[in-house]
Amino acid sequence: MKLATRVLTFLVALEHVGILVLEMFFWNHPVGQRIFGMTPEVSAASATLAANQGLYNGFLAAGLFWGLFTGRRTVLIFFLTCIVVAGLFGGLTAKTSILLTQGLPALVALLLTLATKGDSRE
C-alpha cells in the first residue's frame, strides 16, 4: 500500500476518534455546544443520541485501524465506503459541511486504496 494512502486513511481514522470524543464526552459541554452550535438545552436533550453516534464513529475508526494494521485492503475499502455513505447521508440530512469534513477525505482515501495494488492478505 502506498504511503499516501496509508497516511490519509490513518488521518480519517483519527478524525473519527476525534468525533467519538466530541460526541461521547463533550456533547453536553461548552466545547461541544460551541462546535456543534447548540444551546445547553438542546445538547442536554440529545446527549444520549450523540453518545450513540460517537460509539459508531469509534467502530468506523477501529475498522480503519484494523485494516491498516493487518494490511487488508478489503477491510479498508469496506470501512472507507461506510464513511463515504455516512458522509453523504449526513451532508444531505444534517449539515452540508459533513460532505467536506467527513465524506471527502474518506472518498479520497477510498479512491487511493482502490488505485493501489492489493496485497496477499486480501
56, 116, 50, 114: which is closest to 81 by C-alpha?
A: 114
CA gap 77, 68 in Å, rounded? 11
The residue-averaged pLDDT of 23-34 equals 95
Largest CA distance in the chain: 52
Q: What is residue 119's predicted lDDT score, i.e. its pLDDT?
A: 52
Q: Taking the CB of residue 69, how many other CB atoms lie within 10 A of it? A: 9
Q: Is the pLDDT of residue 121 over 60?
A: no
| Three cell numbers written together for 54 | 460517537
Separation between Cα atoms, residue 85 and residue 62, nearest integer Å: 17
Averaged pLDDT for residues 97-119: 92
Neighbours of 27 (CB within 10 A): 24
What's residue 80's pLDDT?
98
Q: What is the pLDDT of residue 2?
A: 87
- DSSP element (H, E) containing 24: helix 3-25
- From CA 84, how far away is CA 26, in angstroms rounded? 24
CB atoms within 10 A of CB 98: 18
pLDDT at 120: 43
Domain spans of the chain, in order of start: 3-115
Q: Would you state the cell numbers that stand for residue 83, as one nine-digit string? A: 464513511
Tens-digit pLDDT profile for residues 38-57: 999 999 999 999 999 999 99
- Quote the pTM value: 0.91
